[in-house]
């Protein structure tokens, strides 16, 4: 075969493959799923507590399928809702999001914000997530109505854990809480939440949008039983089987989503560790809604008694 013909055929094959992959990714970005995970952090005699972990919804008001799916999550009847940020992707998204959350806002809730709650998204190649994280986020773009979102959430009784410690009673369980503002923007103030977690509580939970190691290390060192995060999109563009290639932060790809342990590794001699649950989230950049081998998700975490022995 003449070289020119071979090159032409190879180019055509690559174009077809790329088109097929994009079509698959567009389809998968709309295949929402609820995952279930047991998290053993309660005292031995405690009843289970059902926690709905939402993250990275990236809502645009016209995304009816996503909004209908969010609305359907009320049927899970969680005891507690935890929202780890990046709810918004449009300046008019707040009313649509609140309508979709509906009865979930009547449940006890906790939240922190992510960078995409604060600033409008930009057109971005989804495969750019495969590049190493440079620790920067463009902030020279218009702000989104995050203040309106915070007001609505707190008005519904949800606890704002933006660089704050707090506590809440849920289903007969006392939960000590801490959370930070978005580490991807370097808005986290670790000094504001530093110190040993409340040992008088039944369980200690910490929230962050982006699971940067400096934040995870401190929460583990301070004795939090579990840390809940989002931001990574589970890798968003993954190898077959869901193996992430990148996390858009300094967390290693092997922990881009799901439940893992996190030791306070950066502190020499520190044997402390916490559970870490990273949600793959339910959204994408609104300009190109692509996911590959990483379905959009919410997670129903069932807090159960700690393992004995």
Residue 12 inside a domain? The answer is: no
Residue 200 inside a domain? The answer is: yes
Least Cα distance to 284 among 94, 31, 19 occurs for 31
Domain count for the chain? 1
Query: Side by side, which strands form the sheet with 49-54?
Result: 33-42, 297-305, 49-54, 80-83, 109-111, 159-160
Residue 71 inside a domain? The answer is: yes
**In this model, does residue 4 exceed pLDDT 90?**
no
Q: Comparing 152 with 10, which gets the higher pLDDT?
A: 152
Would you state the pLDDT for residue 122? Answer: 82
Residue 9 inside a domain? The answer is: no
Biggest alpha carbon–alpha carbon distance for the chain: 77
* Phi, psi of 7, rounded to the nearest 5 degrees: -65, -40
**In this model, does residue 3 exceed pLDDT 60?**
no
Residue 22 inside a domain? The answer is: no
Residue 98 inside a domain? The answer is: yes
Taking each continuous run of H as one helix and of E as one strand, the counts in the chain are: 7, 12
Identify the band that residue 148 occupies on the pLDDT scale cut at 50, 70 and 90.
very high
pLDDT digits (tens, 9 = 90+) for 226-281: 999 999 999 999 999 899 999 999 999 999 999 999 987 655 566 689 999 999 99
Q: Are 297 and 73 in contact (CB under 8 A)?
A: no
Q: What percent of the chain has pLDDT over 90?
A: 77
Least Cα distance to 215 among 51, 85, 36 occurs for 85
165-189 average pLDDT score:
98
**Residue owning tokens 């906790």:** 110
Q: Which domain holds residue 66?
A: 31-305
- Tokens found for residue 236: 């968003």
Residue 192 forms beta bridges with which residues?
none
The C-alpha atoms of residue 247 and residue 178 are separated, in whole angstroms, by 23
Residue 13 inside a domain? The answer is: no
Residue 18 inside a domain? The answer is: no
pTM (predicted TM-score): 0.89
The C-alpha atoms of residue 88 and residue 92 are separated, in whole angstroms, by 9
Give every CB contact of residue 3 below 8 A, 6+ residues apart in sequence.
none
Helices (H), the chain: 3-28, 64-72, 93-101, 115-118, 146-155, 190-193, 213-221
Identify the band that residue 7 occupies on the pLDDT scale cut at 50, 70 and 90.
very low
Assign residue 289 the CATH number of its domain: 3.60.21
Q: Are 300 and 39 in contact (CB under 8 A)?
A: no
């Amino acid at each position: 075969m003449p070289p020119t013909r071979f090159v032409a055929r190879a180019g055509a094959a690559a174009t077809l493959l790329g088109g097929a992959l994009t079509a698959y990714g567009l389809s998968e970005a709309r295949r929402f799923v609820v995952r279930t995970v047991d998290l053993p952090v309660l005292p031995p005699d405690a009843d289970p507590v059902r926690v709905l972990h939402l993250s990275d919804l990236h809502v645009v008001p016209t995304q009816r399928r996503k909004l209908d799916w969010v609305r359907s999550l009320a049927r899970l009847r969680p005891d507690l809702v935890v929202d780890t940020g990046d709810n918004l992707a449009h300046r008019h998204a707040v009313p649509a999001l609140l309508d979709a959350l509906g009865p979930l806002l009547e449940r006890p809730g906790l939240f922190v914000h992510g960078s995409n709650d604060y600033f409008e998204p930009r057109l971005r190649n989804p495969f750019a997530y495969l590049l190493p994280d440079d620790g920067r986020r463009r902030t020279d773009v218009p702000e989104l109505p995050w203040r309106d979102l915070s007001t609505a959430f707190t008005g519904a009784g949800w606890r704002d854990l933006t660089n704050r410690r707090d506590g809440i009673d849920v289903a007969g369980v006392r939960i000590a809480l801490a959370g930070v503002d978005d580490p991807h923007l370097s808005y986290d103030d670790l000094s504001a939440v530093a110190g040993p977690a409340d040992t008088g509580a039944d369980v200690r939970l910490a929230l962050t949008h982006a699971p940067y190691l400096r934040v995870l290390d401190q929460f583990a060192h301070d004795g939090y039983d579990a840390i809940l995060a989002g931001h990574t999109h589970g890798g968003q563009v993954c190898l077959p089987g869901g193996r992430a290639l990148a996390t858009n932060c300094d967390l290693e790809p092997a922990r881009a989503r799901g439940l893992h342990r996190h030791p306070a590794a950066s502190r020499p001699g520190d044997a402390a560790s916490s559970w870490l649950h990273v949600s793959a989230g339910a959204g994408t950049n609104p300009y190109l809604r692509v996911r590959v081998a990483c379905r959009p998700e919410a997670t129903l975490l069932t807090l159960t008694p700690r393992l004995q022995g």
